[in-house]
Amino acid sequence: MSFQELGLSDSVLHGIQRMGYVDPSPIQLRAIPVILAGHDLIASAQTGTGKTAAFGLPILSRLESPQHLPRCLILEPTRELAMQVETAFRDFARFMHLEMALIYGGVGYGKQKETLASGCDVIAATPGRLLDHLQQGTIDLSKLEVLVLDEVDRMLDMGFLPDVRRIVEQCPKKRQTLLFSATVPDEIGRLAAWCLNNPEKIEIGAQRSPADTINHALYPVAADQKFDLLIALLERTDFHSVLIFSRTKDGADRIARQLKTQNHSVAVLHSNRTQIERVEALEGFKNGRYEVMVATDIAARGIDIAGVSHVINYDVPQHPEDYVHRIGRTGRAQNVGDAFTIMTAEELPHVKDIERFIAQKVPRLKLDNFDYIYSAIFNEDSVTAALKGAKGVRTHKGTSFGGSRKRRR
């Protein structure tokens, strides 16, 4: 089925054409008719599947004529995602006359208040700042028609659900609500039961598995050689742009500093940086000024950066879902990407968790001509046996080999 047959408005179809989209993606095929019909929706889809257009295109088709009153609110867990969604909406709606507003924290209120006062049809926001505006009376949601709660599992992780509930309480009871979440644990199920009305449910693909356009591999190494291996991987890889994930903000800063000394152009993205720095990092990485971006998981979910050729996990993610999200930053929209994960003996339990979660074994690779020093990780069976034998050492996520939470770098 084509976009033309889905019942979207002419101006939205015109916008899609300009975007260069030819065929709807599976989530778009399923979600667009449901949203156009005005139903509530709870949906899960892998990242990079075209989720934003899946809700953006039908919402914009329904809004059609401008009223400059907030009729659609999209809540996102991070400022970057809010920015990305607002940009996508502007692109889809380029042949319409709707006004968009972007509301997030970490910046002054002045410009946001001006935008809101001059009237807008669609708001993309993070919950905290939106609540501030509601409390100050600078946003009125009484005319809201569509509420989108995006990346709700991430909002749960970040402790935003109470804020989300407070916002929902200020929305009109008669509205359309769309909830997107990779997983639906009990807490999100309860939120959905409370704020959705008889929703349609859509699940696209096996949400646990990485896109099959991604080649992913593990590189076992001694903890003391992690950085050397990272440098060697970068040297031997013909990359266009590479996103490196670090578990901690300090780690991200440290890796970036060291890479700069190796003459790489590097951006850093984590939540301790100012909003101006975050925007500059992301923009610079997107437009090619930086060939490398080092980030914490703030960049893992949903951020759409065209042409990330490689993802390198400097640390094994502690939550298996984060592995899927992180490596999902490459191989987006049918492009092929490579994802490497550097792994030390103490991280083996996390690797096992990931492999159980994605139900596949990730190949272990050794880099040719790299001067490896011995590590127990080269004999995984003995590490596993040691883990089982070690008293008091639990092998589930959050606990590292040897009982120490401190990582060596």
Binding residues for ligand AMP (CB under 6 A):
21, 23-25, 28, 47-53, 302, 304, 332-333
Nearest distance in Å: CB 84, ligand AMP: 7
Which CB atom, from 141 or from 298, has the smaller least distance to ligand AMP? 298
- Residue 100, beta-bridge partner list: 122
> Alpha-carbon distance 360 to 362, whole Å?
6
Nearest distance in Å: CB 318, ligand AMP: 24
Which CB atom, from 117 or from 306, has the smaller least distance to ligand AMP? 306
Which residue, 210, 184, 400, is CA-closest to 322? 210
Which CB atom, from 43 or from 267, has the smaller least distance to ligand AMP? 43
Nearest distance in Å: CB 48, ligand AMP: 5
Phi, psi angle pair for 90, to nearest 5°: -60, -40
Which CB atom, from 11 or from 399, has the smaller least distance to ligand AMP? 11
- Residue 74, beta-bridge partner list: 124, 148
Nearest distance in Å: CB 332, ligand AMP: 5
Nearest distance in Å: CB 91, ligand AMP: 8
Which CB atom, from 303 or from 387, has the smaller least distance to ligand AMP? 303
Could you tell me the CA-to-CA distances from 205 to 34, 105, 157, 400 in Å, in that order? 18, 34, 23, 32
With CB atoms as reference, the residue minimizing the distance to ligand AMP is: 50
Nearest distance in Å: CB 303, ligand AMP: 8
Which residue, 333, 371, 384, 35, is CA-closest to 180? 35
Residues 6+ apart with CB under 8 A from 261: none
Rg of the chain, C-alpha, whole Å? 22
Residues 6+ apart with CB under 8 A from 55: 31, 35, 74, 148, 150, 178, 180
Which CB atom, from 183 or from 197, has the smaller least distance to ligand AMP? 183
Q: Are 40 and 197 spatial neighbours (Cβ–Cβ below 8 Å)?
A: yes
Nearest distance in Å: CB 44, ligand AMP: 12
Residues 6+ apart with CB under 8 A from 368: none
Helix then strand count (H, E) for the chain reads 15, 13
Nearest distance in Å: CB 165, ligand AMP: 26
> Alpha-carbon distance 44 to 47, whole Å?
9
- Token duo for residue 132: 């501030």
Q: Are 333 and 305 spatial neighbours (Cβ–Cβ below 8 Å)?
A: no
Which residue, 141, 169, 147, is CA-closest to 41? 147
| Beta strand ranges found along 158-314 (DSSP E) | 176-180, 200-203, 214-220, 242-245, 266-269, 292-295, 310-313
CA torsion through residues 281, 285, 290, 295, sign: positive
SS3 6: helix
Which CB atom, from 273 or from 332, has the smaller least distance to ligand AMP? 332
Nearest distance in Å: CB 50, ligand AMP: 3
Nearest distance in Å: CB 306, ligand AMP: 6
